Structure 1
Amino acid sequence: MTEHNEESPERLARPLIRLAQMVGVATSYTGLSHDFHEISDEVLVAILASLGIDASGDEAVAASLATVERGQLLRLIDPTVLHVQGRETHVTLHIGITDAPTVTLTLEDGTEYGGQLVVNPLPEVKPREVDGIFIAEAQLVLPDDIPVGYHTLHVVNGDRTQDATLISAPERIQMLDSMQDGALWGWMAQLYSIRSADSWGVGDFSDLRELLVNGKRYTDADFVLVNPLHAAEPVDPLTPSPYLPVSRRFVNFTYIRPEDVPEYNTLGAEDQAKIKAMRAKVEAFNADPQLIDRDAMWLEKKPALRIIFDAGLSEERQKEFDAYKEACGEDLEAYATWCLCYQQWGKPEPDPENWEVKLTKDSPEVTRLRGEYQLDLEFYRWLEWTAMQQLHAAQQAAKTAGMKLGIMSDMAVGVHPQGSEVWWNPERFAKGATVGAPPDMFNQQGQNWSQPPLSPLALKETGYLSYREMVRGMFDCAGAVRIDHILGLFRLWWIPDGHPASDGTYVYYDHNVMLGILAIEASRVNGIVVGEDLGVVPSYVQESLGSHGILGCAVEWFEQMDGVFTPPKHWRPYALASVNTHDLPPAAGYLEYEHVKIRERLGLLTEGADEFMQSARVEHQAMLQMLVDEGYLDPEVLADEANREDEVVEALYRGLKGSPCKLLAASLVDAVGEKRAQNQPGTNNEYPNWRIPLADGNGNAVMLEDLFQEDLLQRITKIMNA
């Protein structure tokens, strides 16, 4: 850390610093406490290497600088171009000085754009010689009437040709009519934690359907925000964290309810009896209030699903399945093949002798395996199709029941380093770095999320195809999408391998393109996007989100400045407001200092435990004082808080309801009195993250059938509907 707050001219003139900044690698940053940090040469060299850029010495830096500059000048047009519908867009072309360029545009539907594409010379820009060619600049004018979609620009200049992806996005995401002059509210839930009598020990897509329908029927909620539902492993052990998926393109097929697959009803009595016996082995887990056991569930559910798959499809259903496979294309092959390799060769490991490291999608061994186990490969394709159908059915049931949004899906920041996306398309990811967060007040040692970052250079080269398909897939089964750590669309904290989480730097992405893609996909389903913008967020990020019609997040426990809580009436309107997040204990637990106890027990504090507890007590009292001052809490409660804790929780929700935020989210764990945190950031197996079932304050499991009869839930519902 340095005492000044900007880099010196001498530092900025260094070739290494210039090279890093040229490709979007930050050479300094300002932390949460306004502390200024300059990034060390060692970290910059490592991060550049992860992008495939050699900066290992002075000569290498000079050569890389020349290569980057040369590559930019020799491109006729950038590989990805953003256009905002309703505006005229100007795009720079790098052309030869002797031939006039021609430009045509093929629209997403395959037709040719009929409007005029004008190229204007820029004589004021002096031509530059590159590889014996004099390169001049020209300006392509894209008219304001180009429709929304993903199109292709074709540029021809002499004997050079180049295509570019043109992403034409709406200016902003439109709010629903019901949000223009009011707000919508809904529930936050960890799907795996919510079990019914018919579950297989873990909440599933059928439980989600019932949660949505009953959430509307009994509480008049308009959405349910759920944990990420991205794809997982095909065999145990299953990764508990929904924020470390093997693929964000597909959904987690372990959430399938076997009995709700249409072909289950066509099975003979013997096969149905086998499946019932399998479910009977895990039925007792439904009422277990201690831990979710995904592995026990999947050991029984997977063979049950194989019985259903082996029964075959009707002619009509086979056509639907074939159409799904064709639409998904190579993406589905990537995931299904990875699942098959995992099944046959074991868990992927970062070991030189492991199949995931030794083999690629084009290896002869992989080709032979696909040929030998064609039926197993088809089974994994079928599982994904079935999962998508059940998730889609849940969303349709929500809308039929009257929910304005239905499912609000959560998008994880990244994927597992040994997952299918990284294995099938390693060129899309940086090598030798992982994603995390710098130190802050919530985790003073920083965080390493163990996820390989998407390369911003590869995204641009491919027209952001992988990101587009992932967003489209999420909106296929949701009315809203929450982007976890949306700052990652602007910049991500990259940590070089072998370095602590505190020793990294930010790498920047083209956020305008990525937000434009969100606007395209949301507009196609009349959906909403929420960006989790908590923590260290530059002001330009919130401004950009607002200009795109993307809501931010407001968390009651975080809305404070210098120890004073901001009254909810002063919160920003364009946000999803909640009392807490999945990274904090529920309201009752937070009021009992569960967050302090966990961190002290796990050694996550860099300051003394007594000091941290004292700061927590000060925060606690400041919150209660704000609630009293604003009329949300009877001051008499303060004299007997321990016995009137539910009243404090209700006051927190009265405060939430008193905000002008367009979306309000009530947590189901708060509504049943749960005290345990779902997740403790910065830990792996030290704490049972993402394995806590829904239980009340006395440690009794709360079943889905009984959920909406809970007394505190009904009181919170009344507050939210007032």
Structure 2
Amino acid sequence: MAAVMEQLHRLAEAIGLARTWWDVDGAQQTVSDTSLASIAGALGYPAGSAAQIAQSLAQLEAERRQPPAMIVTEVGQPTPLPASLARAELTGEDGRTVALPVDRWTLPPIEEPGYYRLSLAGHDCTLAVAPKSCPTVHDFAPGKLWGPAVQIPALRADAARPFGSFGELDEAVRLFAAHGADVLAINPVHALFPGNGKGFSPYSPSSRLYLNSAMGAPELLGLPPLPAREGDDPAGCLIDWESALPRRLADLRALFDSLDAETRARIARDNAPHGEGLQRQALFDALDVHFRPQGADGWRQWPEAYHDPNGPAAAAFAAENAPEVEFHLFTQWLARESLAKVQADARAHGMAIGLLADLAVGVHIGGADSWQMRDTMLQGLTIGAPPDPLGPHGQNWQLTGFSPQGLKRSGYAPWITMIRAALSRAGGLRIDHAFGLSRLWVVPEGEESSAGAYLAYPFLDLIRLTALEAHRAKALIVAEDLGTMPWGFAEPIAEKKMLGMRVLWFERAADQGFIGGQDYTPDSLAMTGTHDTATVAGWWSGRDLEWAEKLGRLPTDSSSEQEAERREWDRGLLWATLTHNTIPRPEPDHPEPAVTAALRHIGHSASALAIAPLEDLLAGREQPNLPGTVTEHPNWRRRLAAPLGELLDEPANAARIAALDTARKA
């Protein structure tokens, strides 16, 4: 048995599974052999017996000998060829072949970033040559830039609508540009399941290649606006996604049915360059709308004949339901072109960067990406996180993502396509949970997060390809680096000039005091908070503690009284950092001065870019999302109390925005 376990551990190491890991407190944890075997099997390397392990090790060795589909390097440095290419073989007259040693077989440096076709000994592959770094903030404009972060559905317009769309985003761009902002960060706008009112989290998309069709704004493209209904957005209410999304789908159908032949021809021309991938997305959406009323949540619950996107059943459905597929092609066109219009308007209004898009860490296990790209996605595994400050009990996000083996086999084609799509309609991209470029916590499907393990990814290749796509798009890259950082992550990210995130709540010294903004690294993004953290007003007033007590989320060894005492102490620490105690500290029920001080703090920071959530600019107490909850907290449902223009005109809100703008320009 010991010998078998030794071989299992060898197999795990060979496929990038870590047997041990260190938790947020620095304690070493060990993954069970049962988990290792289960995860290895899901990755395509059966490990249920000694014979299976031996066969999987042989399979890995055979894969190592295969020539790569892509070699990734960077400008100005020689590139060692992989073992599968850097070799020579000698075959004698008797047919026996022996390998000859080849020492230092390398490609010479290439000075121009780009993609090249490379031919070596009869094997053709792609050579990707990345630049030394991504564009920096100073490539867009001098000085220290700032902007808000907004949850698009929370935005209100003058017309009564159930949630904000790209039309309201376009108005937000205009308003904040007038206040001096150079960037506007948005929540992920990836494709969800059309018309499904229960799956509305922007971080659980169907596809990261295409867009949320409910966000399209026809008025930005010269088409009639969608109807506004009385009672669609009563002030102060939460978004009723369960009724709003089916209604939005019906309104889009009515608009599509009204289009004339000239407009339909225009849509077909605009869609043509997006090829087969867009056609498959539209087919998936049509199938989902067809099967969802029958109780199917994603393609894995469709009849088996439809599981193959290239199969006869899918082809027959497409032919028999061509108008329905064409409708979903229209909704993707509407979302894509209206978002592109928002980015163009942002630049036209004077924003140096414009939109900062957000890339979710994974996709729904039954979504379009896992249907279309099954060979490159994790199968039988979901992704999440072990315990960390944002999720003390660990998290299983019930998402899937690319597999490292699938990425390599495909020559990284889906990764490149995904990054390219995101950057085609924005001035920058925030990569959520960027640690996933180095390793992901993968969990056997249906198991708790504790049954997971870290799976290594081709980190250097992925960040180089991201830098290459950012170079081609002239775009900024932000790598969200909150939580337990993998060893060897920080330096390559810094070398590539990807901005790390410096969030007020996590920037603490060894004595638990808050560090000064002048100590933030220049190549970073400073923030008062994120969608997953308490707002400044919520933290100062203790609103987050009220939620923790209500939901039973206080630390097991603590009480509400102890947490309140600890918060009072922390208020003193934060106020000392924000103001050096030069003015009296406000009471917990009067958080507005603390919010303004926090905005000035990130404004004066050394970070090249500062972003404040809209909730902080408006001194709101409720946060958009509470990690680790689904229905217990109204995640992704909150709306502004009034149209954004009215709120920004309120003197207190205008003064807070001016404080941040002035601090940035000081």
- Aligned in 2, Cα 1:632/1:204: closer, same or farther, shift over 3 Å? farther
Q: Of the candidates 181, 203, 206, which is equivalent to residue 246 of structure 1?
A: 206
What is the alpha-carbon distance in structure 2 between the residues aligned to residue 676 and residue 294 of structure 1?
19
Which aligned runs of 4 or more in structure 1 are off by greater than 6 angstroms? 10-13, 178-181
Residue 222 (structure 2) pairs with residue 262 (structure 1): yes
Kept in 2: contact 1:263–1:313 (CA 8 A): no
Partner of 2:421: 473
Counterpart position of 2:368 = 420
Corresponding residue to 2:166 among 193, 205, 208: 205
Give the match's secondary structure for 2:450: coil
In the TM superposition, residue 501 of structure 1 has moved relative to its aligned partner by 1.2
The 3-state SS of whatever aligns with 2:90 is: coil
Structure 2 CA distance for aligned equivalents of residues 36 and 132 of structure 1: 49
Structure 1 pair 53–543 and aligned structure 2 pair: CA distance change class (3 A): same
Query: Is 1:168 aligned to residue 129 of structure 2?
Result: yes
In structure 2, the partner of 1:492 is 440
Q: Aligned equivalents of 1:137 and 1:380: distance in 2?
A: 56
Contact 1:448–1:682 (CA<8 Å) still a contact in 2?
no
Partners of 1:442 and 1:49 lie apart in 2 by 30
CA distance in 2, matches of 1:324, 1:137: 53
Alignment of 1:217-232 (within 5 A): 217=178, 219-232=179-192
Task: Identify the residue that residue 647 of structure 1 maps to in structure 2.
Answer: 593
Alignment match, 1:113: none
- Contact 1:187/1:667 (CA < 8 Å) preserved in 2? yes
Find out whether 1:503 has 2:451 as its counterpart: yes
Unpaired stretches in structure 1, ≥5 consecutive residues:
1-9, 100-130, 265-271, 695-700
Q: Where does residue 126 of structure 1 map in the other structure?
A: none
Question: What letter corresponds to residue 478 of structure 2 in structure 1?
Answer: V
**What is the distance in 1 between the residues matched to 2:316 and 2:432?**
39
Q: Which amino acid aligns with 2:98?
A: F
* Aligned: 1:43 with 2:35: yes
Match of 1:98 in 2: 90
Taking the aligned partners of 2:654 and 2:646, their CA distance within structure 1 comes to 12
1:655 positional shift:
1.6
Moved more, 401-410 or 591-600: 591-600
Q: Given the superposition, is the C-alpha separation of residues 562 and 12 from structure 1 closer, same or farther in structure 2, using an over 3 Å criterion?
A: farther
The alpha carbon displacement at 1:320 in A equals: 4.8
Q: Which among 331, 334, 341 is matched to residue 386 of structure 1?
A: 334
Which segment is superposed worse, 301-310 or 189-198? 301-310
Contact 2:299-2:367 within 8 A present in 1 as well: no
Secondary structure of residue in 2 paired with 1:403: coil
Is 1:563 matched with 2:512? yes
Distance 2:524 2:658 in 1: 22
- Give 5+ residue unaligned stretches, structure 2: none
Q: 1:133 to 1:607 in 2, by over 3 A?
A: farther
**2:232, 2:149 → 1: CA distance?**
23
Query: Helix, strand or coil: the match of 1:173?
Result: coil
Tell me the TM-score normalized by structure 2.
Answer: 0.92
- 1:333 maps onto 2:279 in alignment: yes
Tell me which of 637, 650, 654 is aligned to 1:691: 637
Cα distance per residue 1:206-226 (max 9 Å; x no partner): 111110111011x10111111
Match of residue 134 from structure 1: 98
Q: Post-superposition shift, 1:352?
A: 7.1
Whichever residue aligns with residue 480 of structure 1, its letter is G
Distance 1:186 1:203, change over 3 A: same
Does structure 2 retain, via aligned residues, the 8 Å contact 1:528–1:550? Answer: yes
Q: Distance in 2 between matches of 1:332 and 1:449?
A: 26
* 1:12-42 alpha-carbon deviations (Å, 9 max, x no partner): 9921111111111111111111010111101
Please tell me whether residue 69 in structure 1 is matched to residue 61 in structure 2: yes
- Contact 1:240–1:689 at 8 Å: present in 2 too? no
**In structure 2, how many angstroms separate the alpha carbons of the residues matched to 1:137 and 1:236?**
59
Partner of 2:659: 719
How many residues were matched structurally? 653
CA offset digits 1:83-127 (Å, max 9, x no partner)? 20222222131544238xxxxxxxxxxxxxxxxxxxxxxxxxxxx
Q: Is the 8 A contact 1:596 1:613 kept in 2?
A: no
Q: Is the 8 A contact 2:551 2:632 kept in 1?
A: yes
CA deviations on 1:147-203 (whole Å, 9 max, x unpaired) are: 3223332333xxxx4332322111101324367863110001101001112352111
Say whether 1:584 aligns with 2:533: yes
The one-letter code sitting in structure 1 at the alignment partner of 2:129 is S
SS in 2 for 1:563: coil
Give yes or no for the alignment of 1:289 onto 2:289. Answer: no
8 Å contact kept, 1:632–1:655:
no
The alpha carbon displacement at 1:500 in A equals: 1.3
1:153 counterpart (110, 118, 123): 118
1:329 match: secondary structure: helix
Q: Identity over the aligned pairs, expressed in percent?
A: 28
Is 1:85–2:34 an aligned residue pair?
Answer: no
Cα distance, 1:633 vs. partner? 5.3
Which of residues 228, 231, 234 in structure 1 aligns to 2:194?
234
- Are 2:541 and 1:601 equivalent residues in the alignment? no
Q: How does 1:304-383 map to 2 (within 5 A)?
A: 304-312=251-259, 315=262, 320-346=266-292, 348-349=296-297, 354-355=302-303, 359-383=307-331
Query: Counterparts of 1:462 and 1:450 in 2: how far apart (Å)?
Result: 24
Assess, with a 3 A threshold, how the Cα gap between structure 1 residues 199 and 222 changes in structure 2: closer, same or farther: farther
Using the alignment, how far apart are the partners of 2:315 and 2:138 within structure 1?
Answer: 52
**Aligned residue number for residue 106 of structure 1:** none
Contact 1:79 1:165 in 2 (8 A): yes
Structure 1 position 623, deviation (Å):
4.4
Match of residue 391, structure 2, among 443, 461, 468: 443
Whether the 8 Å contact between 1:321 and 1:385 is mirrored in structure 2 is yes
- The 1-side partners of 2:415 and 2:545 are apart by 38
Counterpart pick for 1:573 among 518, 522, 525 = 522
Amino acid at match of 1:370: A
CA contact 2:358–2:431 (8 Å) conserved in 1: yes
In structure 2, C-alpha distance between the alignment counterparts of 1:349 and 1:151, rounded to whole Å: 41
Question: In 2, are the aligned partners of 1:85 and 1:144 still within 8 Å (CA)?
Answer: yes
What's the offset of the Cα at 1:555? 0.7
Any residues of structure 2 matched to 1:512-523 within 5 Å, and which? 512-523=460-471
| Partner SS, residue 364 of structure 2 | coil
Cα distance in 2 for residues equivalent to 1:216 and 1:49: 52
Contact 1:633/1:648 (8 A) holds in 2: no
The answer to whether 1:303 aligns with 2:250 is yes
Cα deviation, residue 325, structure 1: 3.0
Corresponding position of 1:115: none
Measured in 1, the distance between the counterparts of 2:290 and 2:39 equals: 35
Q: Secondary structure at the match of 2:286?
A: helix
State the alpha-carbon separation in 2 of the partners of residues 562 and 212 from structure 1: 40
Per the TM alignment, residue 503 of structure 1 is displaced from its structure 2 partner at its CA by: 2.4
In the alignment, is residue 30 of structure 1 matched against residue 8 of structure 2? no
Query: 1:719 is aligned with what amino acid?
Result: A
